[in-house]
């Protein structure tokens, strides 16, 4: 349960035991409760990967000359940065310690933090106890004057003033016991423990002590009773402020880095979460939302882990499946010796085939590791056997000390490497092979051109599922990445288990026979689908869903859209853009009404309904044409 420390050899206080291995620790044979009762002090030492994330980001930024902060001075970062609080108020907190969940992001948008005390409080309030009583929303509403701030007794205003009249912290319970009940600090801590553990005998004893102390301080019996009951209620879930303040500081620090050093933030976040595929997907999507490109691995630029190159995040070589540590070490060492690889022949001529074998070469091709050398992935893949033989011949020549005619003429030795010039794989095939090598889509995603549909027809993403209650109904847009068809035991009817992936993660979905029979034609394609399902289970392995209905997302868009909106910034609207929009609507004439949603910085957005003679078809071709003319996320459906 922790580390026990005493002023003398522990054998004076407790029986000890040790395992058979030299690395096994010495442990007390008293449990935590009895160890404390005999006067031993137990310390818990908590390791947080976020601390490593902060250090790595600062190290990268400092090496690039972007900041003077290092890990050890960063505790002094000013806690009043307006940009950081704007980020928090937007709920833009993916990767921000303790503030990542969808429910927490919604609370931040309600609260709109403006000071460090808000961050401390929100981390303590976003837990089942306070949320069950609605105290998190009361705290937010009181901060903005939407609900009056009240105090259980005027005497407590000083104690509860910073938390808008709400008891949030265990320390506040102790302060109330001191101020109103006349407790000493040590006695107040005993009261806090009794309340937290709800020991009735102790509670009855302390109620009498508290009432007596309150009466002596001029508090009437009813008020004292109400305050004691309130303390008891809050103490059952009250959080330790010194603990949440430390967490709050780490939350603020990660938010500061995200605001001021976004590229380093995402590189460090993705490195820390590299073993969690859903977190990596969320990080990549969030980075791109902030205009930070995430690039696939590259033999000329990638390091072991994620790094920053020209304000872009570059995948590390360690992310490539089939590329072992020996291969990575050989690539990095050879690159350092050679100063880089200008063409594919440079790589094949100098890297040892004993370290980088055929499997490793294929993985590098699939993920885009050689893209900077001007050859299509398909060309290299079709020449894979030729490349392997070329590497072996080069290595043989080096080992025998021979220098070929072509080498003397600057041709690389061991004969020429003839790689045909072939067009790139079709996008879907390129992305699929990329995912085989990395486990992720990097240079695109099957869902990336369906953002308008996702916004219009869904109510959840895979990133939201962990915060939903069992039996919640969700509508999600995603693609099927794998499907296992089985027969039911009783009726031998066909059903399926599928992996359903959007741009933020994946989830397992159970499709029972009736739903499977109706949806099989959709499930066997790689087209984006709209899934209506119920949250089935929240096990340690993650949330799973029960499918109720599966539809083609394209069919839903065309069948259900009655209105298409084009969202434009009013400052960018000119005659040329309006003419282009008119031509677009005429070109894709259809049944849906058209509105312009004009965004302004200072005033409310303006919605302009076009005459009924202007109607459009909600097709994928129309969306792509609109994005080509006006930019991404310009179209929404209703």
Q: What is the residue-wise DSSP string for 402-433? A: ---HHHHTTS-SSS-------PPPPHHHHHHH
* Residue 347, token pair as written in the block: 């790589």
Which of the 8 DSSP states describes residue 506? E
Q: Mind listing the pLDDT tens digit for each residue in 530-568?
A: 999 999 875 556 789 999 999 999 889 888 899 999 988
For 316-333, what is the mean pLDDT? 94
CA distance 638 to 630: 20
For 582-591, what is the mean pLDDT? 94
Whether pLDDT at 598 is above 50: yes
pLDDT for position 412: 47
pLDDT for position 411: 47
Determine what percent of the chain is predicted with pLDDT higher than 90.
62
Whether pLDDT at 603 is above 70: no
Q: What is the residue-wise DSSP string for 310-321? A: TTEEE--GGGST
* Residue 377, token pair as written in the block: 């992935």
For 407-421, what is the mean pLDDT? 65
pLDDT for position 2: 84
Contacts of 273 (CB under 8 A, 6+ apart): 279, 280, 283
Q: Mind listing the pLDDT tens digit for each residue in 140-151?
A: 999 999 999 999
Position 97 confidence tier, pLDDT thresholds 50, 70, 90: very high
More confident site: 310 or 22: 310
The overall average pLDDT reported for the chain is 90
Pick from 464, 456, 451, 486: which is nearest to 535 by CA? 464
pLDDT for position 246: 92
Contacts of 409 (CB under 8 A, 6+ apart): none
* Sign (positive or negative) of CA dihedral 419, 423, 426, 427: positive
What totals of helices (H) and strands (E) does the chain contain, helices first? 27, 17
Angle separating helix axes 116-125 and 135-143, nearest 10 degrees: 160
For 246-260, what is the mean pLDDT? 96
Q: Which residues pair with 532 in a beta bridge?
A: 475, 549
Whether pLDDT at 56 is above 50: yes
* Sign (positive or negative) of CA dihedral 245, 246, 247, 250: positive
pLDDT for position 261: 97
Whether pLDDT at 528 is above 50: yes
CA atoms within 13 A on the CB side of 36: 6
Pick from 61, 58, 94: which is nearest to 76 by CA? 58
Cβ distance 383 to 420 under 8 Å?
yes
Among 74-88, 291-305, 416-430, which stretch is predicted with the lowest mean pLDDT?
416-430
Q: What is the residue-wise DSSP string for 31-52? A: -HHHHHHTT-EEE-----HHHH
CA distance 392 to 561: 59
- How many residues would you count in the chain? 638
* Residue 469, token pair as written in the block: 């209650």
**Residue whose structure tokens are 């990767």:** 95
* Residue 20, token pair as written in the block: 């058979």
For 333-352, what is the mean pLDDT? 94
For 39-55, what is the mean pLDDT? 91
**Residue whose structure tokens are 């009813």:** 222
pLDDT for position 410: 47
Run of H or E residues at 520:
helix 513-523
What are the angstrom distances between the C-alpha of 374 and each of 341, 357, 371, 378, 415? Answer: 12, 22, 6, 12, 21
Whether pLDDT at 399 is above 90: no
Q: Mind listing the pLDDT tens digit for each residue in 194-220?
A: 877 777 778 888 888 999 999 999 999
pLDDT for position 190: 85
CA distance 439 to 296: 12
CA distance 454 to 464: 14
CA distance 615 to 586: 8
More confident site: 511 or 39: 511
- How much of the chain is in helix, strand and coil states, percent to nearest 5? 50, 15, 35
More confident site: 55 or 632: 55
pLDDT for position 1: 61
* pTM recorded for the entire structure: 0.82
Whether pLDDT at 234 is above 90: no
Position 332 confidence tier, pLDDT thresholds 50, 70, 90: very high
Q: Cβ of 295: how many Cβ atoms within 10 Å? A: 18
CA distance 60 to 75: 18
What are the angstrom distances between the C-alpha of 61 and each of 55, 193, 280, 307? Answer: 10, 45, 21, 11
């Amino acid at each position: 349960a922790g580390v026990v420390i005493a002023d003398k050899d522990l054998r004076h206080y407790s029986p000890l035991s040790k395992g058979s291995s030299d690395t096994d620790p010495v442990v007390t044979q008293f449990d935590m409760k009895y160890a404390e009762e005999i006067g031993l002090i137990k310390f818990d030492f908590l390791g947080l990967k976020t601390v490593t994330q902060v250090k790595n980001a600062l190290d990268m930024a400092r090496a690039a000359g972007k900041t003077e902060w290092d890990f050890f001075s960063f505790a002094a970062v000013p806690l009043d940065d307006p940009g950081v609080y704007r980020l928090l108020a937007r709920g833009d907190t993916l990767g921000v310690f303790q503030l990542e969940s969808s429910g927490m992001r919604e609370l931040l948008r309600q609260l709109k933090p403006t000071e460090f005390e808000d961050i401390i409080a929100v981390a303590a309030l976003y837990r089942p106890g306070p949320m069950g009583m609605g105290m998190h929303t009361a705290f937010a509403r009181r901060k903005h004057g939407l609900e009056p701030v009240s105090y259980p007794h005027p005497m407590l205003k000083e104690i509860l003033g910073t938390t808008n009249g709400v008891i949030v912290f265990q320390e506040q319970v102790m302060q109330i016991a001191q101020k109103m009940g006349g407790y000493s600090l040590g006695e107040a801590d005993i009261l806090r423990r009794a309340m937290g553990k709800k020991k009735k005998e102790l509670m009855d004893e302390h109620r009498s002590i508290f009432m007596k102390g309150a009466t002596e301080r001029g508090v009437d019996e009813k008020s004292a009773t109400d305050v004691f009951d309130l303390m008891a209620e809050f103490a059952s879930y009250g959080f330790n402020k010194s603990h949440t303040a430390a967490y709050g500081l780490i939350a603020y620090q990660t938010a500061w880095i995200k605001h001021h050093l976004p590229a380093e933030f995402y590189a460090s976040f993705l490195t820390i979460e590299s073993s969690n595929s859903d977190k990596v997907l969320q990080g990549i999507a969030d980075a791109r939302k902030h205009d930070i490109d995430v690039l696939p691995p590259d033999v000329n630029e990638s390091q072991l882990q994620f790094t920053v190159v020209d304000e872009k995040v570059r995948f590390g070589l360690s992310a490539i499946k089939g590329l072992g540590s020996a291969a990575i070490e050989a690539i990095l060492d050879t690159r350092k010796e050679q100063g880089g690889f200008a063409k594919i022949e440079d790589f094949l001529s100098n890297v040892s085939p004993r370290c980088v074998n055929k499997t490793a070469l294929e993985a590098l091709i699939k993920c885009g590791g050689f893209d900077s050398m001007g050859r299509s992935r398909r060309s290299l893949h079709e020449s894979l056997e030729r490349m392997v033989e070329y590497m072996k011949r080069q290595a043989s020549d080096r080992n025998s000390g021979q220098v070929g005619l072509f080498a003397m003429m600057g041709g690389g030795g061991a004969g020429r490497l003839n790689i045909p010039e072939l067009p790139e794989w079709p996008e879907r095939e390129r992305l699929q092979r990329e995912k085989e090598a990395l486990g992720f889509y990097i240079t695109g995603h099957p869902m990336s051109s369906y953002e308008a549909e996702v916004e219009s027809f869904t109510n959840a993403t895979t990133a939201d599922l962990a915060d939903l209650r069992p039996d919640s109904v969700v509508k999600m847009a995603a693609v099927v990445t794998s499907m296992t068809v089985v027969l039911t035991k009783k009726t031998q009817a066909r059903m399926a288990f599928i992996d359903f992936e959007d741009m933020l993660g994946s989830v397992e979905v159970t499709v029972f026979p009736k739903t499977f029979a109706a949806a099989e034609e959709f499930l066997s394609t790689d087209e984006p689908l709209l899934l209506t399902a119920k949250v089935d289970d929240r096990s340690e392995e993650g949330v799973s869903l029960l499918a109720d209905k599966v539809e083609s997302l394209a069919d839903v868009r065309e069948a259900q859209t009655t209105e298409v909106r084009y969202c434009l910034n009013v400052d960018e609207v000119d005659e040329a853009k309006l003419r282009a929009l008119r031509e677009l609507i005429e070109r894709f004439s259809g049944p849906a009404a058209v509105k312009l949603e004009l965004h302004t910085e200072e005033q409310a957005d303006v919605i302009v309904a076009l005459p009924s003679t202007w109607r459009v078809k909600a097709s994928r071709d129309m969306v792509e044409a609109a994005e080509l003319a006006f930019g991404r996320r310009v179209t929404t459906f209703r």
